Amino acid sequence: MNFDSIDILLIEDNPSDAELTLNALSENHITNRVRVLKDGAEALQYIFDAAADPSRSCPKVILLDLKLPKVSGLEILKRIKADERTRYIPVVVLTSSNEERDRMDCYRLGVNSYIVKPVEFDAFARSVVEIGYYWTILNKPFCSP
């Protein structure tokens, strides 16, 4: 799986949060290739179309919002972790939900990390940079053959 040689797949329907995420990564020299998808149906189609092509490699991390139009982030996570071709792709939920039920559901489904989006801009930017640095530089991913 190549996913068009992307490193970060950002699944986020809020244009402001997507822009803040991209800006924080860019300003901190985490210039990895990022693809932004805006709804759950688009994300599932993109992920599983790419997974069906053996010449494509997987992204280093998927940043996933939970509250998405068409298909929820929980359903996307469930499908990613249930499929042999995609289950090893790290998924970080980056959401405004601080609900215990959401966290429990995500961890039960196999999320790699659950992060509540900080409300304050600088804290949000720091969180995104730390996520990007860890998952794209420090972590050594494994993608199923």
Q: How much is the pLDDT for 33?
A: 83
pTM here is: 0.88
Domains of the chain (ranges, CATH numbers): 3-138 (3.40.50.2300)
Tens of pLDDT, residue by residue over 6-64, are: 688 999 999 999 998 998 888 887 767 889 999 999 999 999 887 777 666 678 899 99
Nearest to 88 by CA among 141, 34, 37, 33: 141
What SS3 class is residue 54?
coil
CA distance 36 to 15: 10
The burial class, CB within 10 Å (0-12 / 13-18 / 19+), for 140 is: exposed
CA distance 32 to 52: 23
CA distance 119 to 105: 23
Confidence band (pLDDT; 50, 70, 90) for 3?
Answer: very low
Whether residue 67 contacts residue 96, with contact meaning beta carbons closer than 8 Å, is answered with yes
